[in-house]
């Protein structure tokens, strides 16, 4: 931990020294919270800065930044995968994606000309805070928002009030999903946030919508875990509750947070019985209960109160090119941006349900080592990965899911999600996406368990062949 904190401190010093800073962050919930933490920190330092959210950090974006040549660039929730392209930049990175390298590489053409070479090298100064370089797994240990928070905390102790955003970022990247609680470095943030009274956490039902949805709706939309005979069936969910003698409505539809302890216990024990009776096993049943994270300063019954719902609200903004709206909400807007975010949340939920239904209609194509679907234009490229995550949690038979969707840039967006068990056996999709996409003329990366790529249209079949072979090789090594 000391080395990690030391690096956070070094980055903090560079930020303190910079005259002007450009923050570049990712468009998803973790990226938006990371950017918000960086931004509030710089505001408190009285720095001149601007922030920008991007879907991906590609070479083009880095070249633009080089042309602009600001005194310092702060990459949050991205950057580590592109560090080899950053020659000539003065930058800091707070990220958790698998680093491409720990070094900045000056390309051959620049090296040929000694003057350019020395010029590029003398300008280059890139420092990153990333759990991977300290031997930890960036998919679960800490998120982009978390690493950014550690730097913020070094710069100003007041920034502990940003800890809840770091938790929302981690939950947004599903870092609590494997162990049903946050672990590793995330735990330090959590404890600090609790001590200061910003966050509360305890064991409860892990359902999405605990704070905001009528209980029967919450059950109807449950995908992690799926509830056999209930998920997707409104009437069945209502009857399930009625049969247990639980009133659906008092003055208003009752939400999970409105139920008594006894009522909750009854529902959970019946759900466990149901899951086991339907042959899904203990592992699925155990996913009913886990740690939940409450933002104590947010109003009860709103989507901002529960970290998981807050993260979904942010994804609903960022994944539809409105990251700034989510960013404004993170920084405290409860007026126009918040209202807009709520509208987008509704649309996002509808899109996810439609996306899931679409894949169920066309069916997953199963192969020996993977299964896949091609959404074409039917699912937005930015949410196709979320749909893949949801589908995976419904699967009895645990094979990785590869999803394709048409991308607005004319290429094909690839998202992949893997069962944890295979990752534990050595499968690593950050490598597979990177190498397989390069073989068909694309690019990719991410985490062992969740990764993505962009490949040329028409290369899908070839790509699947390569990926399948790589999975086989990794698992049978």
- Binding positions for ligand C5P, rule: CB under 6 A: 26, 28, 30, 56, 81, 97, 139, 173-174, 177-178, 385, 389, 415, 417, 443-447, 449-454
CA dihedral 80, 86, 87, 91 (to 10 degrees): -80
Segment near Zn ion (CB under 5 A); pick from 71-79, 258-266, 355-363, 436-444: 71-79
Torsions phi, psi for 65 (to 5 deg): -65, -35
Q: Which of 35, 51, 77, 149 binds Zn ion (CB under 5 A)?
A: 77
Contact 420, 395 (CB under 8 A): no
Segment near Zn ion (CB under 5 A); pick from 76-84, 119-127, 427-435, 444-452: 76-84
Please state whether 19 falls in left (phi above 0), alpha (psi between -120 and 50) or beta.
alpha
Minimum CB distance to ligand C5P smaller for 13 or for 438? 438
3 state SS of 413: strand
3 state SS of 256: helix
Minimum CB distance to ligand C5P smaller for 355 or for 445? 445
Neighbour count for residue 336 (Cβ, 10 Å): 10
Give the binding-site size for Zn ion (rule: CB under 5 A).
5
Partner from Zn ion, ligand C5P, none binding residue 178, C-beta < 5-8 Å depending on class: ligand C5P
Q: How far apart are CA 407 and CA 430, in angstroms?
A: 20
Minimum CB distance to ligand C5P smaller for 97 or for 153? 97
Q: How far is the CB of 93 from ligand C5P (least distance, A)?
A: 14
Partner from Zn ion, ligand C5P, none binding residue 214, C-beta < 5-8 Å depending on class: none
Segment near Zn ion (CB under 5 A); pick from 112-120, 135-143, 189-197, 205-213: 135-143
Minimum CB distance to ligand C5P smaller for 31 or for 303? 31
| N-term to C-term CA, the chain | 33
- Pairing relationship of beta strands 48-54 and 20-26 according to DSSP bridges: parallel
3 state SS of 289: strand
Minimum CB distance to ligand C5P smaller for 34 or for 110? 34
Minimum CB distance to ligand C5P smaller for 63 or for 299? 63
Q: How far is the CB of 30 from ligand C5P (least distance, A)?
A: 4
Q: How far apart are CA 46 and CA 465, in angstroms?
A: 53
Contact 225, 276 (CB under 8 A): no
Q: How far is CA 360 from the centre of its chain?
A: 24
Minimum CB distance to Zn ion smaller for 78 or for 356? 78
Site for Zn ion, residues 7 to 36, rule: CB under 5 A: 30
Neighbour count for residue 403 (Cβ, 10 Å): 27
95 is a contact residue toward Zn ion (CB under 5 A): no
Q: How far apart are CA 80 and CA 86, in angstroms?
A: 10
Q: Pattern 157-176, binding to Zn ion, x per CB under 5 A?
A: ----------------x---
Q: How far is the CB of 96 from Zn ion (least distance, A)?
A: 6
Q: Which residues contact 301 (CB under 8 A, 6 or more apart)?
A: 211, 212, 255, 257
Q: How far is the CB of 386 from ligand C5P (least distance, A)?
A: 6
Binding site for Zn ion (CB under 5 A): 30, 77, 143-144, 173
């Amino acid at each position: 931990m000391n080395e990690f904190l030391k690096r956070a401190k070094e980055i903090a010093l560079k930020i303190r020294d910079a005259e002007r800073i450009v923050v570049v962050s990712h468009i998803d919930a973790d990226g938006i919270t990371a950017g918000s933490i960086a931004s509030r920190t710089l505001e408190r330092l009285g720095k001149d800065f601007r922030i920008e959210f991007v879907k991906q950090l590609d070479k083009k974006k880095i070249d633009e930044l080089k042309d602009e040549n600001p005194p310092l660039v702060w990459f949050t929730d991205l950057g580590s995968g592109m560090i080899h392209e950053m020659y000539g930049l003065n930058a800091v990175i707070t990220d958790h994606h698998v680093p491409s390298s720990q070094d900045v590489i000056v390309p051959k053409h620049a090296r040929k000309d000694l003057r350019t070479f020395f010029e590029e090298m003398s300008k280059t100064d890139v420092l990153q805070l990333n759990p991977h370089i300290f031997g930890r797994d960036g998919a679960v240990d800490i998120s982009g928002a978390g690493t950014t928070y550690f730097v913020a905390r070094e710069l100003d102790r007041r920034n502990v009030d940003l800890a809840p955003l770091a938790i929302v970022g981690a939950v947004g990247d599903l870092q609590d999903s494997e162990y049903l609680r946050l672990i590793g470095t995330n735990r330090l943030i959590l404890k600090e946030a609790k001590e200061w009274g910003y966050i509360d956490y305890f064991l409860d039902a892990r359902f999405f919508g605990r704070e905001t949805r009528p209980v029967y709706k919450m059950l109807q939309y449950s995908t992690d875990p799926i509830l056999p005979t209930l998920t997707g069936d409104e009437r069945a969910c209502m009857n399930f509750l009625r049969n247990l003698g639980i009133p659906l409505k008092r003055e208003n539809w009752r939400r999970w947070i409105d139920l008594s302890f006894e009522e909750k216990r009854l529902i959970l024990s019946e759900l466990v019985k149901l899951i086991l009776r339907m042959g899904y096993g203990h592992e699925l049943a155990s996913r009913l209960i886990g740690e939940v994270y409450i933002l104590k300063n947010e109003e009860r019954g709103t989507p901002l109160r529960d970290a998981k719902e807050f993260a979904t609200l942010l994804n609903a903004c960022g994944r539809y090119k409105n990251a700034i709206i989510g960013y404004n909400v993170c920084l405290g807007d409860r007026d126009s941006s918040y209202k807009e975010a709520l509208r987008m949340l509704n649309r996002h939920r509808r899109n996810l349900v439609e996306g899931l239904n679409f894949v169920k209609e066309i069916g997953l194509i199963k192969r020996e080592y993977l299964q896949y679907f091609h959404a074409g234009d039917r699912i937005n490229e930015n949410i196709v990965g979320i749909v893949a995550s949801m589908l995976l949690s419904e699967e009895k038979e645990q094979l990785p899911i590869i999803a394709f969707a048409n991308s607005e840039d004319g290429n094909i967006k690839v998202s992949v999600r893997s069962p944890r068990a295979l990752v534990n056996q050595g499968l690593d999709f950050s490598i597979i996406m990177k190498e397989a996409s390069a073989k068909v003329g694309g690019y990719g990366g991410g985490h062992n368990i969740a990764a993505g790529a962009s490949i040329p249209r028409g290369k899908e079949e070839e790509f699947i062949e390569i990926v399948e072979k790589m999975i086989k090789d990794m698992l049978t090594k």
